Amino acid sequence: MAVTVPQRNLQIGKYPMAEKKFEREMKKLESEGVITRSEFLQIMAAAGAFLALGTDKAYAAKSSAKAKIVIIGGGAAGISMASRLKRKLQNPDITLIDPSDRQYYQPGFTLIGGGVYTIDDVWKPQADCMPQDVKWVKDRVTLVHPTQNRVQTAKSGTIAYDFLVVCPGVKYDWSRIEGITHATIGAGNAHTIYDPKGCQLTWKAMKEFSEKGGKGVFCDTFTKHKCGGAPKKISLLTWDNCRKQQTLDKIDLHYYTASKQLYNVPHFTPRLEEIYRERNIPVDMNCRLKAIDTSAKKAYFERVETDAEGNKITTPFTDDYDFMHFMVPQCAPDFVRESGLSWTEGNLAADGWAMVDKHSLIHLTYDNIISFGDCAGIPTSKTSAAIRKQLPIAVENLIALMEGRTPEAKYDGYAACPIVTEYGKVLMAEFDYDKKEQITFPLSLWDMSQEQWVAWLLKVYALKPIYFNLMLKGLY
């Protein structure tokens, strides 16, 4: 079946600033002999045809199964699920519970922090993103009663369901870092891009730091977290800004990771480690941020290591900074654990992630509940690319359950993390549960173990329109 992708969905002409930036990038690539405009357009046309293949499934034969479906969460996972189910069911009865006024393209927060986007580039009114004929309950969930098939809300009472989809995203647990709160983001020049306000403050601080120089401290966190590459991107963009400002001789950058290695996907790790060495940015492993003294500009860490006998050794230390970017520890929203939906053992239990089968995304206790997206307790990265691949699995298996069939669709753990290494280059890491590279077309035409300009163009110019115009509409 031939499918024509509406051109209006892929145009950037309606965004004049983006179009001008794209033209500059294209001219630079042509002048450097990297690729001609004609070659680039041919590749993008092939990619567009590839994207169109994904829309075939969205228009496949509809199921006549009937059931009351409740979706918790109105982010990338929740709205995409509602849209796809609307297209797949003849008589959809879908309620979506979410309190948000705005739909943010959250992968864009890093680009705001790096001065590429502005905040107005990455959001739309939630009402404009909500699928038609889906009942939107603008409220938050306080508890699920899984044995009664009911959801309790803060203001809208109890809502019954036959099938439940749990995708409320993550909770930022500010209580695990002393000295700073959500309300005081930016105090003492300590920043995080994981917030609409925070990413804007990050760019202002990064720009000033790049002009003056000083000590820069960057760190991730010890919990599972969304967009794990973001702290790396901010550290590398800070270095690149300093290069542009010719202040590299005035800076001292340091990266701390709570992990035992900088990155855990072997195909991409060597080049990423090499970049940090080339830029003289030391990387310390097994370090957890515990507190920030914003008045003194001091970051307090613990180095957590294990000796030969298996004993845990914790060593506290402090580092001064002039500019800092940190990540807040993350966990599932409280109601997930309080409703008995979380893992109770294993390394996914501590932070309350939903207990689902990692392939089917069906809850291991309650088989009329599916969970995917950032809240799901599965061993892969929490990214929008992962959600995009989980979505058809969740839809197909939910419909199978509604029809009384055995769910057969399986998610392989695919996730992607576009690590921005400099302005104009991205190391696009795509991988599965086994941490094996899974390079998708058209990126498979390049050596993706190295940073590439084409991945930058994809990250900056293509992924956002795909998110708003295809993914949230259940078409991709």
Residues marked active site are found at 227, 417
Which residues are registered as beta bridge partners of 319? Answer: 299
Phi-psi domain of 465 (left: phi exceeds 0; alpha: psi -120 through 50; beta: other): alpha
The two tokens of residue 181 are 């709160």
Tell me the C-alpha distance between 155 and 210, whole Å.
47
The answer for residues whose C-beta is within 8 angstroms of residue 345's C-beta and 6 or more apart is: none
The two tokens of residue 81 are 């699920």
The SS3 assignment for 173 reads: coil
Q: Tell me, rounded to whole angstroms, the distance of Cα 443 from its chain centroid.
A: 20
Tell me the C-alpha distance between 433 and 436, whole Å.
7
Residue reference for tokens 């963009």: 237
Tell me how crowded residue 63 is: count the other CB atoms within 10 A of its CB: 17
The SS3 assignment for 177 reads: coil
Tell me the C-alpha distance between 413 and 63, whole Å.
27
Q: What is the DSSP string of 184-244?
A: GTTGGGEE-SSSHHHHHHHHHHHHHHHHH-EEEEEE--SS--BSTTHHHHHHHHHHHHHHH
Which residues are registered as beta bridge partners of 184? Answer: none
The two tokens of residue 106 are 């959250």
Tell me the C-alpha distance between 379 and 54, whole Å.
25
Specify the pairing of strand 68-72 against strand 93-97: parallel
Tell me the C-alpha distance between 347 and 62, whole Å.
39
- The answer to whether the CB of 305 falls within 8 A of the CB of 170 is no
Residue reference for tokens 């290069």: 243
- Looking at residue 107, the DSSP 8-state letter turns out to be G
